[in-house]
Amino acid sequence: MNTKLSHGNFRESTERLKVMRQPHTPFGSGPGAALSRLLEASDLAQRLPRLPARDFSALVQHLGVHDAGELVALATTQQLQAALDEDIFASEAPGAPEEIDGGRFVTWLEVLLEAGPPAAATRVAALSEDYLTLALSKVVLVLDSVWLSLPKSERSREVISDDELESAARGRP
């Protein structure tokens, strides 16, 4: 066996060593090799929905939400939900309860809108009502226009006070 290394063989060997030292990812053993194959596949629209939801979520995190827009458009509802969960829930400190980051949710809505309003509406409507209510409550304030048009004396105190309404409109508790 010839053990003599040429410059080309040495470079190839060192590249293989670099690949072997990379941490394992759900996309393959090489740094981005399987990811590149997936993204360059001519049948991406058929292959992507078969990707496990947690792997899809990791893929979106790896690429960034804005750069993964086309993939998000092809994702299943389960994949979308997993990626959303991973990205928009955060805690302010270790051990603190996780809360939805309204700004990140808006980012996801923007990415979904890249496929057009009807497609975005379909994707959002596929999420559970409870999930959607929780996420939207971080970015939308819904007020009853009929109630607001009533004189103050006729408004029920159980609903909300004017001070509470003004504070909510300013984004303060």
84 and 149 assigned to the same domain = no
Q: For the chain, what is the domain count? A: 2
Do residues 81 and 154 share a domain? no
Q: What is the extent of the structural domain holding 97?
A: 41-140
Please check whether residue 31 is in contact with residue 21, taking contact to mean a CB–CB distance below 8 angstroms.
no
SS3 155: coil
Per-residue model confidence (pLDDT) at position 33:
63
Phi, psi for 10 (deg, rounded to 5):
-65, -45
pTM for this structure? 0.64
pLDDT 10s digit of each residue in the chain, 173 long?
444 434 444 444 444 434 433 444 444 454 456 667 777 778 888 888 998 999 999 999 988 999 888 899 999 999 999 999 999 998 888 888 999 999 999 999 999 999 999 999 999 999 999 999 999 989 988 777 877 787 877 766 555 666 776 776 666 55
| 62's tokens | 């790896």
Q: Are residues 151 and 100 in the same domain?
A: no
Residue 152 confidence (pLDDT):
77
Say yes or no: 122 and 153 in one domain: no
pLDDT confidence of residue 109:
95
Say if residue 46 is in the same domain as residue 116. Answer: yes
| Cβ pair 126, 77 in contact under 8 A | yes
Dist CA 108 CA 102 (whole Å): 10
Residues 94 and 136 in one domain: yes
Q: Flag whether 83 is in a domain.
A: yes
